[in-house]
Structure 1
Amino acid sequence: MKKYIVLVFAVFLLSCESLFMKPQPENTPKSIFDQVWTFVNEKYAFFEFKNVDWKLIYNKYQTRISDNMSDEELFQVCYDMLYELKDEHTNLISKFNVSRNPEVFLDYPENYSGDLLNRNYFKGRTQIVSPFSYFDFGDVAYFRYDSFIDSISDEALDYILEKSKTKKGLILDVRNNGGGAVINIDKLASRFISDTTLLGTEFHKNGPGKNDFVEEKSEIYPAKDVETYLDKPLVILTNRGCYSATNMFAAFMKGLKNVTLIGGKTGGGGGLPTATELSNGWILRVSGSITLDRNGFNIENGIEPDMKIDMSKADMDKGKDTILEEGMKVIRQN
């Protein structure tokens, strides 16, 4: 009798498990499309800021979904729908394609040429102080940071900042730096402040409702027991290719003592991505937070420089980088 009771109880448990387990989404075109739309609807942070009616967009694109469409055709419909957000942090990733939104960078001048710099300024004589490249202009020090993906060592920054102390000023070139790890913002920016400074305020999506956000303030603390650079001019060169973490770095540095941003407006990207895996294995990520700078400005669409300068064709034909030249002029006239 006891064995029978145990057996019945075990069957009941298995039945309950089946009864209460959340059903797995189907792997059909309609289901995949709905999964994409729903995740964006619940996690995307910029509907209000960008004035996007996501329900209207669902109605616009769901008519293109059919049961017999190929994976490539389904991906293209989802790609087109996501493109409406004009957000380079929102991507659909499959084994055969990745959706992007380069529109945020279009219709802006390039404002950077590595080839021009190497041929006419550096002539192959930059020092590699990983992850930076460094060049000595005599009275002005220059260093370039290609990507916030690359880890920053104290030794590299110590070397560059120590050398810069004998110069009139320092130029940091972050043009075409597409972003990376937020921790490297702290690592770099902490060398240029003497007091704890507000980086900004982040609002993270924490629920499916349009106004479901949790607020979190972020501060950067001054570096200790390492080289710092506080009392001489620092010029930061920017262009539209400065995205994500670089955009956040530019927002933080703008307005600091002795700091001047020169070049083009940054590319934006103020939301930290959040991601999910769809039932067919595709990965979807969206901007899941909003970042305001310490003055309350939403940085999603980019940061205006202190001095807006475009590289002129006339200068480029002469082998000159207009933005770099302006940066050196500002330092030398200081």
Structure 2
Amino acid sequence: MSKKTFLILLLVSVWAGCLKPDIESSSTGVFQSFWTEMDRHYAYFDYKGTDWDAIHTQYAPQAAQADEEALGDLLCTIIQDLEDGHVNLYTPAGICGYPFWERGPSDPPDLERISLTAAVDFSTVLYGGYLQQQPELGYIWIKNFSSEIGEYAAIGEALDYFSGSRGLIIDLRGNGGGSDRNSELVARHFATKETLYRRFRYRNGPNHDDFTPWIEDNIAPLGNTYTKPVLLLTNRSCFSSTEDFILAMKRFDHVQTVGDTTGGGSGNPIFRELPNGWIYRFSHWQMQTADRRFFEGIGLPPDYYQPSSAEDNTDRILERSIELLN
């Protein structure tokens, strides 16, 4: 090989190496990265009846012509069509995803909230007290399950506070989830015995139906447990780890739910980064109830259905729960 030929090949190699990152971060490269990673790891294609190859055929040519804004809109369209609240795209323009909470009515924005005899902040995420209209009934609002686990350990203190109550209302409305470690910690304080409460399996192969064997998850009592009647207040905004909490609590005979069907999010998402720096997440496992039912995209129906009313300021769900406990 001549010196001149060697230099030409060296320059071509360097040029190709410099070009590769630009190709990967191009609209085509970003789209292909997103499609390939989802193809390999997303858990609900077959369950949802999604033809992922057809998605590629339809959108790849559009991605090749898209600028940054159009590419973001294109990926958002694909994500929303999956109808999975655990699939999101995070870009400088904002966060996009499927608005699962819009499938049912939400609480009126001017809803008259709960009146307590003495409001207590047990932690930054647990708030409650005894009801003014029914002083023998306790009320706890769980804001989320996404804070540090120590915030949820305060449930022990809360249940000591309500030890003299005749029953307890736990308000989960608007709780979009967080960590199942936190939801399990709270639920264990209501357990009467160790029991199965959910099953899950991970996507683990190139085919859309490649999964690990089902893994069974139990819930067991912890510390001081509350075994008097409990009602959980639910709506469409209850999602993800909040639904894990409901699954666990519904395994106990003294717990029932009232309100609306939950959001239907069971995917336990993982996060990935695209070549242009955008972040996205998607479901990488499937979950079932203890009796082997899927609820992804469906939600968990309440024992007592009670829609919210936008006609007045009355909290119909809370009122119904008080009636049920009387």
Asked if TM exceeds 0.5, the reply is yes
**Structure 1 residues 113 and 159 mapped into 2: Cα distance closer, same or farther (>3 Å)?**
farther
Kindly report which structure 2 residues correspond to 1:257-296, keeping only aligned pairs within 5 A, or say none: 257-296=253-292
**1:127 equivalent in alignment to 2:102:** no
Indicate conservation of the 8 Å contact 2:229/2:255, yes or no.
Answer: yes
- In 2, distance between residues paired with 1:268 and 1:222? 26
In structure 2, give the amino acid aligned to 1:78: L
Q: CA deviation at 1:65?
A: 2.1
In structure 2, give the amino acid aligned to 1:128: D
**Structure 1 residues 154 and 284 mapped into 2: Cα distance closer, same or farther (>3 Å)?**
closer
Identity of aligned residues (%): 29
In structure 1, give the amino acid aligned to 2:46: E
Indicate conservation of the 8 Å contact 1:251/1:299, yes or no.
Answer: no
**Structure 1 residues 107 and 213 mapped into 2: Cα distance closer, same or farther (>3 Å)?**
closer
Residue in structure 2 matching 1:327, options 291, 305, 321: 321
- In 2, distance between residues paired with 1:327 and 1:211? 42
**1:299 equivalent in alignment to 2:295:** yes
Q: CA deviation at 1:159?
A: 2.4
In structure 2, give the amino acid aligned to 1:248: D
Name the SS of the counterpart of 1:261 in structure 2.
strand
Q: Which runs of 5+ in 1 are unaligned?
A: 1-22
Length-normalised TM-score, structure 1: 0.84
In structure 2, give the amino acid aligned to 1:307: Y
Length-normalised TM-score, structure 2: 0.86
Indicate conservation of the 8 Å contact 1:173/1:238, yes or no.
Answer: yes
In structure 1, give the amino acid aligned to 2:219: I
Name the SS of the counterpart of 1:192 in structure 2.
coil
Kindly report which structure 2 residues correspond to 1:142-153, keeping only aligned pairs within 5 A, or say none: 142-150=139-147, 151-153=149-151
CA-to-aligned-CA distance 1:288-321 (integer Å, 9 cap, x gap): 111111110112121001001012345xx2x421
Name the SS of the counterpart of 1:147 in structure 2.
coil
Kindly report which structure 2 residues correspond to 1:22-171, keeping only aligned pairs within 5 A, or say none: 26-67=24-65, 69-102=66-99, 104-111=100-107, 116-117=112-113, 121-122=115-116, 125-130=118-123, 131-137=125-131, 138-150=135-147, 151-153=149-151, 156-171=154-169
Give the aligned partner of residue 216 of structure 1: 215
Give the aligned partner of residue 229 of structure 1: 226
Q: CA deviation at 1:109?
A: 1.0
Name the SS of the counterpart of 1:172 in structure 2.
strand
- In 2, distance between residues paired with 1:221 and 1:70? 53
**Structure 1 residues 57 and 222 mapped into 2: Cα distance closer, same or farther (>3 Å)?**
same
Could you say what the CA RMSD is over the residues aligned between the two structures, in angstroms? Answer: 2.0
Q: CA deviation at 1:41?
A: 1.1
Q: CA deviation at 1:272?
A: 0.7
Q: How many residues are matched?
A: 299
Indicate conservation of the 8 Å contact 2:203/2:211, yes or no.
Answer: yes
**Structure 1 residues 240 and 152 mapped into 2: Cα distance closer, same or farther (>3 Å)?**
farther
- In 2, distance between residues paired with 1:154 and 1:81? 36
Name the SS of the counterpart of 2:154 in structure 1.
helix
Kindly report which structure 2 residues correspond to 1:300-315, keeping only aligned pairs within 5 A, or say none: 300=296, 301-314=298-311
- In 2, distance between residues paired with 1:109 and 1:98? 23
Name the SS of the counterpart of 2:207 in structure 1.
coil
**Structure 1 residues 107 and 92 mapped into 2: Cα distance closer, same or farther (>3 Å)?**
closer
- In 2, distance between residues paired with 1:290 and 1:241? 20
**1:248 equivalent in alignment to 2:241:** no
Name the SS of the counterpart of 2:113 in structure 1.
helix
Name the SS of the counterpart of 2:232 in structure 1.
strand
CA-to-aligned-CA distance 1:65-113 (integer Å, 9 cap, x gap): 235x3211111111111221011111122233322111x2214111365
- In 2, distance between residues paired with 1:255 and 1:309? 21
